Structure 1
């Protein structure tokens, strides 16, 4: 048995023990140490880099670690095994994906503006922002020798009489409180209830003079990032907002690797606990602390996630999703409650799940479609959600078609050597001087924060700038020389955005030709999906009136740069609208409004799903899109002019 110590740049350490031959990445996972492994440990991504500080590791050399770096102690955790006591440094870039949880400052108008706009749009469409939760005051006569009715029946009788309801249900959590609350308040109480035309469910009971809050939790479970809101269900006020890395990412950056992990012994529980215990519940705790409320006062929850995340969250086998004919266990369900899956809110809270419409078009897209409002417009609109998968919806008030393409994790920093989520230290915007090739960049975080890596919006900017400045060619290869352009022993080029001495990490922040190639394939998947879907309808890009872009890949996307690299069609820039994390704002509206929830189910049932893998022309479109901006430059006349 050997001692294994994981050290971090902030001075913290995690100590654990392992046997001879135990894999270092698996040891880290067991110890809940965040080491980025998008490829789930098959040595293909090179992102699980750690530095050997003392002791020994049995670690083979790979192309991801140069000879010089190997001599400096750098190793890939996934190919390293324990053979003695050992201490390794986990650099910030290796753990950046599991970013320090971020709880939003709601005094910033920008944090809540999008949700206020969404509420306004939904109401203008004629959808009421009301729900079935309420607080009711109930006064009962105390029991006596002449009136020996038990407490639960006394409360049910009073509620039936008060609201003319035939059936009242009181769960165990309320029954436990009932005797004390009734007698401490002379049988005058407040009840938190859910009311339908013929049924009432009592969530909680309080004294008549207590201030009662009905809280709700909206959550977007992304493959890479989880975002959440706590709201006041009576008026829609946002009480707290937070985001964090999805703890499942240590089992792989994409859904396929996670499904494979789920099939291993104990895998279902590991994946479920990673997203609930390691991610969602800590976020709830911090948000409740920030808002000054009890987690038990959250009585309803809405989840918007892709089909695989829904299955992993619920602890349901997702393997059929990746096997032809790609059948999920459910598209929609109303059977989940907080106590079923271990969510740390009121145990009887009902969990609304935004409906999926296909194996790879999930509830995050139906929720996003709701708030994009394309279903309420006669003009033709394109909705694009950028994430680990790229999902598209095209249509108007008469019809909608959707599809999904495997863009990979590049838009959220995966498959990029210095890629990371849009959290503190991420370069989210960049320009490059055409003459000097010197960069100017904007970093997520407080003033003075040093760059650690690149998030999605920053990658888009940098590749566009490199191309428009003539530093790379349409294949993404470097064609200029300068102090910021390097070539390794294999001839692979890279561009240094921040040298080690000005960066907040232990190495230069740079983008390589391999990174650019990975991103070209990701953007190519998006554009070819757009062309394929439009082509199936005998449409072309000139017929698009609006393009709504969603995804939490930075504070915003420079649409011109996205067009420059051939990710989006070359249409007038005023047609583009960035709508932020539409999955979260859609979950927010579904949580707040019963009619919005029903409208989302309606949209899902009426949407046509196209499986791109069955379309013969898709691969040809994809190959043509794997250049900057495209092999057919006639599709991008404005880029050519610029």
Structure 2
């Protein structure tokens, strides 16, 4: 056995042990060490870099590591084998991209405004913001020798008499505690219940004078990022908000790689553990700790995620999703409870899952469509959710069509050498001086925060500015020279946003031609999907009245820059609206409102799903879009004019 030490900038070392010949990336995965591996260890992406500090390791030089970098100790973890005791340094960008958890400051109006608006919009559409959870006071007769009824029957009979409901259900978790609570409270108690026309379910029992808050949890499970809200179910008040990298990302940046990984021996359990035990449960603990709330007082969960994430979360077989004819185990289910999958809240908490529409259009889009309000407007609107998969919905109050395209993780920082999630240290907006080529940028975090990398909104700005200032050409190649533009010995160009001494990481923050090419493909996937879906309906972009853009890729998107690089249609900028993380907003609304939950199911059942891979013209559209802004410049008159 050999000792393997993973070292981090500003964090404690992780020490583990491995057999001779064991793969370093697999060791990191088993040790819960955040090494970015979008290709899931296939040696094709070159992002699982670590730096050899000491000891022995067998690692061939690959095309992703230059001679100078190899001499400095840089290695790819996926092709490295342990041959002795070894120490490696994990770059800070890996932990920034994946692992850092952000707990929101709810005193900031910006943090809660988007959810308040979602709640207001659905209410104005006639959807009642009420749910089936409640607290009732129950007074029972104290037992005597003449009245020896058992505790459970005593409570059930009292509730039936008080409510008139004939069926009352009591789970084991309540049965186990009632004898203590009854006697401490002289048989006057408060019950947390879920009531319907036909039955009552008892979630919990409290003493008569105890303060009771009914908690709910809304979760958006993205391929790259997981976000959550802790709320008071009676008032709708947001008690906590947090986001974190999806722990599954070490098994691949896209859903296909993760499905493949899940089919390996023990793979399904590993992926389920990564998202629940390593991501969701720590977020719950952090939010509850910050708000002084107990996890066991969370009685309902609402989850919005794509179809594959739903399957990996629940430990179900996802392989049929990626194989023709692309059939999932379920589109919707109403039979899950927290204890079934190990989410650490009240064990009887019911899980509401936003319904999926197709194999690659999931509940995150259904939830987002709900709060985008497309279904309540006569105007033709386009809803775009920017994530690892780009999903679109087009329509109005009469019809809706949806489709999905594989944009890759670029919008959330993946496939970009300096990419990261929209968390502290991420450059989220940028301008570049045309004459000096010097950048000016804003960074997420407290004042004085140094840049660590680029999040999605920052990448859009940087590439747009590089093109606007003539630093890159329409193919994304560098054509100007200067202090911040450099080329390696292979001739590949890059632009330095922050030199090492200016940055908050162990190396320069720079974007290179490979990054730009990856992003051009991502934006090309979005625009080609828009064009293909509209063409299938015999529409064109001039017929779009409004565009609603969603995705947690920064504090906002510069729509002008997004149009400038050919990601969005060239229509008047006032038609664009950024609505943030609509998946989480929709999950929040579904959690709070039984009517909103029903509406979400209705939207899913009424939406037409277009499978782009079956449209012959889609690939031609995509190839034409892999250019800034497009091979057909007439589609972007404002860019040509500028």
TM-score over 0.5 for the alignment? yes
**Could you tell me which residue of structure 2 aligns to residue 193 of structure 1?**
193
8 Å contact kept, 1:46–1:417? no
Report if aligned partners of 2:34, 2:99 keep a CA contact under 8 Å in 1: no
Q: 2:101 and 2:497 mapped to 1: Cα distance? A: 26
Moved more, 439-448 or 628-637: 439-448
2:633 equivalent in structure 1: 633
| 2:292 corresponds to 1:284 | no
Equivalent-residue separation in structure 2 for 1:275 and 1:308 (angstroms):
12
How far does residue 11 in structure 1 lie from its aligned partner after superposition? 4.4
What's the CA shift string for 1:364-386, capped at 9, x where partnerless? Answer: 00000000001000000000000
Note if 1:49 corresponds to 2:44: no
Match of 2:224 in 1: 224
Match of 2:72 in 1: 72
- 8 Å contact kept, 1:36–1:47: yes
Query: In the alignment, what sits opposite 1:582?
Result: 582
1:19 CA drift (Å): 1.1
Q: CA deviation at 1:443?
A: 1.0
Find the aligned partners of 2:119 and 2:363 in 1 and give their Cα distance.
19
Deviation at 1:426, TM superposition (A): 1.0
Matches within 5 A, 1:380-529: 380-529=380-529
Per the alignment, do residues 118 and 40 of structure 1 end up closer, same or farther by CA in structure 2, a change over 3 Å counting?
same
The superposition leaves residues 569-625 of structure 1 with CA deviations (integer Å, 9 ceiling, x where unpaired) of 000000000000000000000000000000000000000000000001101111111
Residue 596 of structure 2 corresponds to 596
- Segments of structure 2 that go 5 or more residues without pairing to the other structure are none
State the partner residue of 1:535: 535
- For structure 1, the 5+ residue unaligned runs are none
Aligned partner of 1:239 in structure 2 is 239
What corresponds to 1:29 in structure 2?
Answer: 29
8 Å contact from structure 1 (residues 338, 350) kept in 2: yes
Contact 2:214–2:232 (8 Å) recurs in 1:
yes
The Cα shift of 1:135 comes to 0.1
CA distance in 2: counterparts of 1:502 and 1:181, whole angstroms = 60
**Shift in Å, 1:98:** 2.0
The residue number in structure 2 matching 1:178 is 178
Q: How far apart, CA to CA, are the structure 2 residues paired with 1:429 and 1:64?
A: 28
Asked if 2 retains the 8 angstrom alpha-carbon contact of 1:302 and 1:587, the reply is yes
Structure 2 CA distance, aligned partners of 1:37 and 1:13? Answer: 20
- Higher mean C-alpha deviation, range 360-369 or range 176-185: 176-185
Are 2:371 and 2:585, in contact at CA under 8 Å, matched by a contact in 1? yes
Q: In the TM superposition, what whole-angstrom CA distance separates every residue of 1:524-564 from its partner, at most 9, and x where no partner exists?
A: 00000000000011111111011000000111100000000
Listed one character per residue, the Cα deviations across residues 51-74 of structure 1 (whole Å, up to 9, x for unaligned) are 111111100101211111111111
Question: In structure 2, what is the Cα distance between the partners aligned to 1:43 and 1:95?
Answer: 20
Q: Report Cα offsets for 1:250-304 as digits up to 9, x if no partner.
A: 1111111110110011111100000000000000001011111111100000000
SS at match of 1:500: coil
Greater shift, 465-474 or 523-532, is seen at 465-474
Query: C-alpha displacement at 1:99, in angstroms?
Result: 3.2
Query: Residue by residue, what CA displacement relative to the aligned partner does 1:391-448 show, whole Å, maximum 9, x if unpaired?
Result: 0000000000000000011111111111111111111111000111111111111111
Q: Distance in 1 between matches of 2:22 and 2:15?
A: 15
More displaced, 381-390 or 477-486? 477-486
How many residues align structurally? 642
Is contact 2:99–2:247 with CA below 8 Å preserved after alignment?
no
What's the CA shift for 1:500?
1.3
Is the contact made by 1:412 and 1:419 (CA closer than 8 Å) also made in structure 2? yes
The 5 Å alignment of 1:613-624 reads 613-624=613-624
Q: 1:11 to 1:287 in 2, by over 3 A?
A: closer
Equivalent residue for 1:86?
Answer: 86
Name the TM-score, length of structure 2 as normaliser.
Answer: 0.99
Once the 2 structures are TM-superposed, how far is the Cα of residue 94 of structure 1 from its aligned partner? Answer: 2.3
Contact 2:525 2:622 survives alignment (8 Å): yes
Deviation at 1:334, TM superposition (A): 0.5
Question: Matched residues in 1 for 2:511 and 2:639: separation?
Answer: 23
Partner deviation per Cα, 1:69-104 (whole Å, 9 max, x = no partner): 111111111111111111011110122222321110
Q: Are 1:156 and 2:171 matched, yes or no?
A: no
- The alpha carbon displacement at 1:234 in A equals 0.3
Instruction: Give the equivalent residue in structure 2 for 1:329.
Output: 329
Three-state SS of the structure 1 residue aligned to 2:410 is helix
What is the root-mean-square deviation of aligned Cα atoms in Å? Answer: 0.7
Displaced runs of 4 or more, over 3 A: none
| 1:226-375 matches, cutoff 5 A | 226-375=226-375
Task: Write out per-residue CA displacement over residues 486-518 of structure 1, whole angstroms, 9 at most, x where no aligned residue.
Answer: 111111111111111111112111111111111
Match of 1:14 in 2: 14
Equivalent residues of 2:370, 2:600 under 8 A apart: yes
